[in-house]
Structure 1
Amino acid sequence: MKKLESVNYKGFIWPVIIGLILWFMTPIKPAAVPVAGWHMFALFVATIIACITRPLPIGGVSIIAFALTVLTKTVPMEKAIVGFGNASIWMIAMAFFIARGFIKTGLGRRIALNFVKAFGKRTLGLAYSLIGVDLILAPATPSNTARAGGVLYPIIESLSQSFGSDPKKGTERKIGSFLIFAEYHGDMITAAMFMTAMAANPLVQTLAKSNGVNITWVGWFLAALVPGIISLIIVPWLIYKMYPPEIKETPNAKQWAEDELSKMGAMTLPEKLMAVIFVIALVLWIVGSFIGIDATLAAFIALGLLLFCGVLSWQDVLHETGAWNTLTWFSVLVMMAGQLTTLGFIPWLSKTVGNSLHGMNWILVLVILIIAYFYSHYLFASSTAHVTAMYSAFLAVAISAHVPPMLAALMLGFFGNLMASTTHYASGPAPVLFGSGYVPQSKWWSLNLVLGIFYLVVWIGIGSLWMKVIGMW
């Protein structure tokens, strides 16, 4: 006899209650917020709570949220469905497929073994070496999703599986959980350090210029250098202490790696093709912004070549369930977050925060603005969308409160990246790395809560002092 699938119906209780309370508060909503904007806020909050209580997997929750958003006429179907055409989300899906090529051909394992051979004495050293690769690529790769998802994720996954660390087998804590989460934060920090390391950073430069602040590439880098280096050194160590891997030392790793490489023999044709296509993708990601090929198109080109050369089959693509799952839920959340701005809720929130800070000491204003900017990211599924919605408003408020313009512009610019230390849907790399299954949602949120405070202290405190020392304000 066939049985129904298991559903955690109790998990629906709080999302429904809170969603309905907010929905029926419409008559007493702020006058500046349109009815549709308030309804979207109620639906979004209920959806986020459901992502926490998990009555269904996040993909199932997102489908119900999508249906309710259209059914209540909060957003018409033709606008709601647009979320599934978001280029950044397809970039995330492509990263999963490229990772499958590394695994299927064995190239990922070969690279992983060479990493173990060179840096394998300690797990913490492996994390630093992987983040070092991210740091080297960051200045010339204006997509943190491309770096974390397309370049480093497949290496980390292969490396983890080489040590028998696999979430499907319940062994993710051996080494994979730590490496995945350390890379997520390493990628976030490197994105904050260079004006060309994340898609929203050039947007920050444009928005700052419209407010009379001219940010240069060198100026951004110099201002971020000290807090960035401190973060790159301390954050992996903090994660190591808070979320330690089971495998901490591998004293025989070099010999083991050499033996495993000998068993693998010379590189096969599929491995060579995978390596060449990977290099093509990497080059396109690095120079794409100069030749008119964005990161998503580069990823599509890479997947097309993998299929054309026979490295992957279409069945491989269809069976990559993590990619299709992520594509579904992230598309819905990005659509809902975008509609919060379009329907007027986020503009109202930005204006309200600005008015409440009038007349305060500028240092206090800057701290309050950054904290509000940082934690409001729980409402966003995209750093670029958040920057687009709130950066100009917050910068204008800061300047009007006599915060030094360059200090305000750069601090808000840095935190346009660092605010990804919030949720598992916070930015492009988040669903790639979270979607791998190595780090449970509860740990992702709780560890980020602690590390978010670290970023606020280091980047506002030390970062501001450093900028003063080098004469930027």
Structure 2
Amino acid sequence: MSENTKKTPYKTIHVLIGLALMAAVILMPQIAGLSTAGQRILGVLAFAVYVWVTESMPYPVSAIAICFSMIMCLGLSPAVGTTGKLLGTTKAIPLAMSGFVNSGWILVAAGMFLAEAVRFTGLDRRIALNILKVVGTEPKRIIGGIMIAAYILAFIIPSIAARAAALIPISMGLITAFNVDLRSVFARQLMLVTGIIAPITALMVLTAGAPNPYTVGLLSSQLNHTVTWSQWLIYAGPFSIALGLIAYVLVITMNKFETLPGGPALIEKYMKEIGAMTSKEKRIGIIFLITIIFWGTEHWHHIDANTITVFATLLLFLTRVATWKEMSDRVQWGTLVLFGIGISIGEVLLKTGAATWGAQATLGSLGLQSMSAPMMLAVIAVPLIIIRLAFSSIVALGALVVPTILGLLVSFNDPSISVWSITLISSFLVYFSFLLPVNTPATLLTYATDTYELKDMLRLGIPLTILGLLVYVLFTHTYWHWIGLL
């Protein structure tokens, strides 16, 4: 019997448990202070979280199941409150699919086409190799070079997994070229850093990770507050760089690296293999340069990042960098479906009042309302890091955490609390995926190379998480306060 066949009954049991959880929440007596639709959507959320945590269904399939469940639960519930005329499935469909008309979804969808175009032309590999050519071939310099490459690619490839996929072949190529053992200190730390740096860099740029536009989209739709591309860079960039520096210092101080043979000649060899820059690389490079300039100057021309990204995607096809078929075959449509449904859950949780109720039930007893903003963020951070361990999808985690915190802050009805900024800063914590390989596709991909073990990740991840949280708290009292975010 194959391994997949053995797993099938196990996954089926978990799907049934997830359905039972949903049914239990839906069928329990009416919860005080919660609408019928809100209670039923909490049941859908329980199902979603369970199948996401157990990975008992492929993420795209779970998204379809969640969408259908939302349509039925909303459609067969009173339009308002607990009694009265049913909303109907026809009117429920736009609510369940609201994530697909959200500005955040549009940004990610267009960004994925651009990301695949960069990989398709090979521009990502050229950028990384040129960085390594500059920094040198000593172990510490190579690791630093890979991290710098990841930060630069964050402006170009708006996908954590795609950035990791772009850097992994280069890291593996260096390990092979230097003829070092896969379990050598250099190989282990290089591949570990390649996985960990991907989510850290995603925090820096609005377009570098799906939870960023998701959060901005919710702030826009629920609070009518806009966060531009350049504003996000100002808010999150320094914190992202601080996390990267901590990771680098930990790696180079906690390990003694062996001497690598070959030197700069190896990089030159790889540069010769990729040859001169092609016309397609030049075209996509120019498109991205123009796009980044327009992203960064949004406050001058007032064209939002979503529109700019859609136009950049159009240029990709008009300039014949790639054809529609070439790109559509490479784009991960399942990820887009999951992201859209993830946004929809957040929207529906907020609209039905379920997010506010859930936040009060889980975090309300912590006495957050009487705390200062920095203290509030520090108290919220610990449970969020613990919850982070249960998720392998950053998108799925964001769909749960962001509307919950937003709902809680809105329920306080306190004009002295900056709801949007506290929600924004709290969302940064979804990127703290430094402890388990399964917590993000990037570390899962690097773990699959069999270069490092779980103990290697924990050895780096535990101090990185602790120091990262301390820096997070420090930023709430200093930098974010100085720039007027808190």
Identify the residue that residue 213 of structure 1 maps to in structure 2: none
Q: Give the one of 333, 337, 351 matched to 2:346.
A: 337
So what's the TM-score if we normalise by structure 1? 0.68
| SS of aligned partner of 1:149 | coil
Aligned-partner Cα distance in 2 for 1:372–1:392 = 16
Letter in 2 for 1:45: A
Aligned-partner Cα distance in 2 for 1:208–1:248 = 54
Q: Give the one of 469, 473, 485 matched to 1:456.
A: 469
Aligned-partner Cα distance in 1 for 2:167–2:266 = 13
Residue pairs, 1:114-263, within 5 angstroms? 114-121=130-137, 122=139, 123-130=142-149, 133=152, 147=155, 149-150=157-158, 157-164=165-172, 178-188=193-203, 230-236=242-248, 252=262, 254-263=264-273
So what's the TM-score if we normalise by structure 2? 0.67
**Does the CA contact (< 8 Å) of 1:277 and 1:305 recur in 2?**
yes
**Does the CA contact (< 8 Å) of 1:370 and 1:415 recur in 2?**
yes
Identify the residue that residue 278 of structure 1 maps to in structure 2: 288
Structure 1 unaligned regions, length at least 5: 135-145, 192-196, 211-216, 424-429
Letter in 1 for 2:243: S
After superposition, the C-alpha distances for 1:52-107 in whole angstroms (9 at most, x for unaligned) are: 32333211222222223324445722322232333323332333322332233232
Aligned-partner Cα distance in 2 for 1:164–1:202 = 37
| SS of aligned partner of 2:297 | helix
How much has 1:388 moved relative to structure 2? 6.6
Relative to structure 1, is the Cα distance of residues 114 and 422 closer, same or farther in structure 2, using a 3 angstrom cutoff?
Answer: closer
**Does the CA contact (< 8 Å) of 2:103 and 2:217 recur in 1?**
no
Relative to structure 1, is the Cα distance of residues 354 and 151 closer, same or farther in structure 2, using a 3 angstrom cutoff?
Answer: closer
| SS of aligned partner of 1:312 | coil
Aligned-partner Cα distance in 2 for 1:204–1:49 = 26
After superposition, the C-alpha distances for 1:211-250 in whole angstroms (9 at most, x for unaligned) are: xxxxxx99x979996x7665332135568999x9xx9986
Identify the residue that residue 80 of structure 2 maps to in structure 1: none
**Does the CA contact (< 8 Å) of 1:182 and 1:239 recur in 2?**
no
Aligned-partner Cα distance in 2 for 1:309–1:303 = 10
Letter in 2 for 1:309: T
**Does the CA contact (< 8 Å) of 2:38 and 2:354 recur in 1?**
yes
Q: Give the one of 335, 344, 348 matched to 2:357.
A: 348
Quick check: 1:77 aligned with 2:110? no
Aligned-partner Cα distance in 1 for 2:171–2:194 = 12
Quick check: 1:24 aligned with 2:24? yes
Relative to structure 1, is the Cα distance of residues 165 and 284 closer, same or farther in structure 2, using a 3 angstrom cutoff?
Answer: farther
Relative to structure 1, is the Cα distance of residues 67 and 317 closer, same or farther in structure 2, using a 3 angstrom cutoff?
Answer: same
How much has 1:190 moved relative to structure 2? 7.0
How much has 1:414 moved relative to structure 2? 2.7
**Does the CA contact (< 8 Å) of 2:103 and 2:213 recur in 1?**
no
**Does the CA contact (< 8 Å) of 1:383 and 1:420 recur in 2?**
no
**Does the CA contact (< 8 Å) of 2:146 and 2:194 recur in 1?**
yes
Identity of aligned residues (%): 17
Q: Give the one of 119, 122, 146 matched to 1:106.
A: 122
| SS of aligned partner of 2:203 | helix
Relative to structure 1, is the Cα distance of residues 237 and 20 closer, same or farther in structure 2, using a 3 angstrom cutoff?
Answer: farther
Aligned-partner Cα distance in 1 for 2:349–2:259 = 47
**Does the CA contact (< 8 Å) of 2:114 and 2:313 recur in 1?**
yes
After superposition, the C-alpha distances for 1:356-382 in whole angstroms (9 at most, x for unaligned) are: 628978797664345457767879748
Quick check: 1:415 aligned with 2:431? no
Relative to structure 1, is the Cα distance of residues 65 and 309 closer, same or farther in structure 2, using a 3 angstrom cutoff?
Answer: same
Letter in 2 for 1:327: L
| SS of aligned partner of 2:155 | helix
Quick check: 1:269 aligned with 2:279? yes
Relative to structure 1, is the Cα distance of residues 306 and 249 closer, same or farther in structure 2, using a 3 angstrom cutoff?
Answer: farther
After superposition, the C-alpha distances for 1:102-153 in whole angstroms (9 at most, x for unaligned) are: 233232332222122123533421243235548xxxxxxxxxxx73734997
Number of residue pairs the alignment of both structures matches: 422
